[in-house]
Amino acid sequence: MEPDWEGGLAELRAALGRKLLERPAERLLYRYDALLSGPAPRAVLQAESAADVQVALRSCSRHRLPAVARGGASGLSGGAVPTGPALVISTTRMTRVSIDPAGRLARVEPGVINQQLQELLRPHGLYYPPDPQSSRQATLGGNLAENAGGPQCFKKGVTGDYLLELEFVTADGQLWQMDRSGTDLPGLIVGSEGTLAVITGATLRLSQLPSQVRTARALFGKLEEAGRAVAEIIRRGLLPAKLELMDQASIAAVEQAFHLGLPSAAALLLCDCDGEDPEEVDREIAEVALAFRSAGALQVDLASNPAEAERQWYARRSVSPALGRIKPRRMNEDIVVPRSELPQVMQEIRALGDASGLPLVIFGHAGDGNLHPNIMYDPAEGRWAEVQALAHAIAKVAIAHGGALSGEHGIGLAKRPFMAEAVPQETLRAYRAVKRALDPLNLLNPGKILPEERPL
Ligand SMILES: Cc1cc2nc3c(=O)[nH]c(=O)nc-3n(C[C@H](O)[C@H](O)[C@H](O)COP(=O)(O)OP(=O)(O)OC[C@H]3O[C@@H](n4cnc5c(N)ncnc54)[C@H](O)[C@@H]3O)c2cc1C
């Protein structure tokens, strides 16, 4: 059955009134995320409650209308970008939060911005560990839908590790509330990129802010030495709170953009160790420094106070904003590889970048084996095929070393072309079976994650 937009939109208008945006200028604002853009949606629902989402999805289901959930649109894989005529369901007005400090829980709606939750928690001495670097823009619904990570996730785990209960609406408009006992259905929705359900609420676990934090920065003469240092830290059984990488190109981009006085080096690793016992934390950061040196670090500096540590972390957070100085657009990779493979993987990716002649910047959550090689390009230069070829070659390096296409940004549209190579056919069949069970009409975020069916 073809989508019935006329009947569907009339029904949505009658039920949702001014929450439904239909003017072209308004719709245009909902066609992109932080990486890609697509056609403007046919309409946008600014949902204010789970009931609004239910009403919308019931109409979509009756009239066969595709629906794309959207949070802060900070996604880096095209997840919230419509692939054809669609209703976008925006959650940015669903921002209720209640905090239970004694129980270390927060009950949130999906449109709450990650950073806003952190600010509400700080006076209670608490925090929410999943900390994507986009925390000022990304919503908790988007974080759940992507199973987002961040620097702190090395030690503390990713978004899904902090979910206790999930509320979501399936494509037929039914509302579900579940904890994770028994068969973990919420776990299935986490990381499903809006393809299985629209998340309308969650209960999240919180942690106590550590009282002791030490920061170390190491500079390396070769990129692969930084990879070796990460492998050495893992080998020694150390568990820093954060362990992040910037390569020469990212250091240079940040320096050019923000003039922070960063030294030049082939690579930089930034590490935090945290805990409650000052002596233990001192011991751990000293061992990290030893691991850095044994991998060939040219220089290791310990931050002497929190302000200095903050300046170093500010540099790391500035990588993405600085990239626009190199070229106007980027193709963002998000590979994750076993940490023992990092030195070799880094070397191979750098060599691919050099051979391509395209600017390639590498940074990421090295402690997790999660690298973000960013291919910088200018659409006016007409090198899109080369960009795609380099992205594909990098994906192949990850696969060859036992890694995966995405550590945290999701597959979305950007990595979808590589899925058939990266994931065995039987696994793809299982994904499709799950999709059919929850969304038999393929209405939720169609055209994402799963590659086109191959003819038998
Ligand atoms: C500068 C920068 C730094 C970043 N750093 C990190 C990082 O450190 N770690 C990391 O993991 N990511 C990072 N990202 C990527 C991005 O911020 C995350 O993927 C984030 O979780 C997306 O949240 P959002 O609200 O912006 O989601 P959107 O971009 O709006 O949507 C992302 C996906 O989630 C789906 N979705 C959104 N809301 C819902 C919902 N309520 N129910 C169901 N599906 C939904 C969408 O359909 C889409 O598929 C970064 C992005 C930028 C621009």
Residue ending a domain, choose from 190, 208, 226 = 208
**pTM score:** 0.96
What is the residue range of 196's domain?
Answer: 97-208
Q: Which strands form 67-70's sheet, in the order they lie side by side? A: 20-21, 43-46, 87-90, 67-70
- Kindly state whether residue 261 falls inside one of the protein's structural domains: yes
Last residue of a domain, one of 90, 109, 137: 90
Are 80 and 71 a contacting pair, CB within 8 Å? yes
Cα gap 292→300, rounded to integer Å: 7
Tell how far the Cα of 260 is from the centroid of ligand 1, in angstroms: 28
Residues 272 and 337 in one domain: yes
The tokens describing 393, both together, are 């070659």
Is residue 319 exposed (0-12), middle (13-18) or buried (19+ Cβ within 10 Å)? buried
**pLDDT tens string 136-170:** 999 999 999 999 999 999 999 999 999 999 999 99
Which ligand 1 atom sits closest to the C-alpha of 68?
A: 47
How many domains are there within the chain? 3
Ligand 1 pocket check for 133: Cβ under 6 Å: yes
Bridge-based pairing state of the strands 43-46 and 87-90: parallel
pLDDT tens for residues 86-135?
Answer: 999 999 999 999 999 999 999 999 999 999 999 999 999 999 999 999 99
Instruction: Burial-class residue 135 by CB neighbours within 10 Å (0-12, 13-18, 19+).
Output: buried
Same domain, 271 and 371: yes
Q: Are residues 161 and 237 in the same domain?
A: no
Q: Are 105 and 158 contained in the same domain?
A: yes
Q: Give 33 Cα–ligand 1 centroid separation in angstroms.
A: 9
Q: Does the CB atom of residue 67 touch ligand 1 within 6 A?
A: no
CATH number, position 189:
3.30.465.10
CATH value at residue 86: 3.30.43.10
Same domain, 81 and 107: no
266 CA to middle of ligand 1, Å? 30
Q: What is the pLDDT of residues 254-291, one digit of tens each?
A: 999 999 999 999 999 999 999 999 999 999 999 999 99
Widest distance between CA atoms in the chain: 68
Residue 141, ligand 1, Cβ within 6 A: yes
3-state secondary structure of 398: helix
Residues 21 and 41: their CA atoms lie apart, in Å, by: 10
Name the residue of 46, 48, 74, 313 whose CB sits within 8 Å of the most ligand 1 atoms, as the mutation to test its pocket: 74
Nearest to 137 by CA among 43, 69, 71: 71
